[in-house]
Amino acid sequence: MLGAAAPTPLTAGAPDPSPEFINQRRTPLLDEMKLKARINGEKVHDVGYRVFLLDLALELGIERFAAYNRIDGGLEVVSVMAEGDDDQIAALRELVASKRPKDARVSDVAIEEYDGRIVSTTDFMHIIQVQQLNKGIPAILRIQTTQEKMLEKQCMMLDKQDQMLDKQDQMLDKQETTISILKNIKEDTSEIGVIKKEVSAARYEARREREEIISTLKSGSLEEKYEELSREIAEIKAAIAEIKGNG
């Protein structure tokens, strides 16, 4: 952009912009006021403290601001540097002392003298963005790995489901075969019923003829029946002899 001052490049190989780096030269703006605050506590890292402070600086219109996480004697420390006019720095100083993120546990806030250079608020925003991206990339990779494992498990579950469906189809086929067999048995049973009825009718007819024969025998003399049977037998023998003779 025309008219905009180019940001000072980072020193090659520097691991992290720090107070040691930004303290390379003094600002020529004598009417600007600087602030350095040291926020100590049991939990001031990984609670969004630096972004929280950056938001305060942006609301106040502070053009130079930076905040860095440090460890000092086992305690977590957030070092805050800002440069602006008197009203901006006074307001930020009050907010740093009274405001904090929800999950932060602060033991004390110390104000220190500072006369070094402070990066622009815009540059610090870029630094925060890059750091957040660096933190997010491993998380994204873990999520991708987790998703791949979940997809593998899902594929295995789908394979098992297909196997279960195949078994279910086989069971349905067996069920249809069983139903067909039962239908045939039922039809056979119906035929058996008809045969039973025919046998019963034949038995009844045989019983009736037997009773008629007995009744007939009782009604006449045995000699008459014997003579009648003898004649019938003689006639049958004669017919058989005649058939043989013709043959």
DSSP code per residue over 177-210: HHHHHHHHHHHHHHHHHHHHHHHHHHHHHHHHHH
Q: Which domains does the chain have, with CATH numbers?
A: 19-119 (3.30.70.100), 206-239 (no CATH)
H helix or E strand, kind and range, residue 72: strand 64-72
Highest mean pLDDT among 118-127, 130-139, 197-206, 237-246: 118-127
Tell me what pLDDT residue 8 has.
38
Q: Answer whether 139's CB lies under 8 Å from 46's CB.
A: no
Q: Answer whether 25's CB lies under 8 Å from 11's CB.
A: no
pLDDT in tens, 95-119: 999 999 999 999 999 998 888 999 9
Alpha-carbon distance of 157 to 154, in angstroms, equals: 5
What is the band of 223 on the pLDDT scale with cuts at 50, 70, 90?
low
Of residues 70 and 165, which shows the higher confidence score?
Answer: 70
Share of the chain above pLDDT 90, in %: 35
Residue 22 has pLDDT above 70, yes or no: no
Tell me what pLDDT residue 86 has.
93
* Average pLDDT of the segment spanning 204-225: 71
Two structure tokens written together for 241: 């002899």
* Average pLDDT of the segment spanning 36-56: 95
Q: Any idea how long the chain is?
A: 247
pLDDT in tens, 143-154: 878 888 888 888
Q: What is the DSSP string of 93-149?
A: HHHHHH---TT-EEEEEEEE---S---BHHHHHHHHHHHHHHHHHHHHHHHHHHHHH
Two structure tokens written together for 184: 């045939």
Alpha-carbon distance of 95 to 98, in angstroms, equals: 5
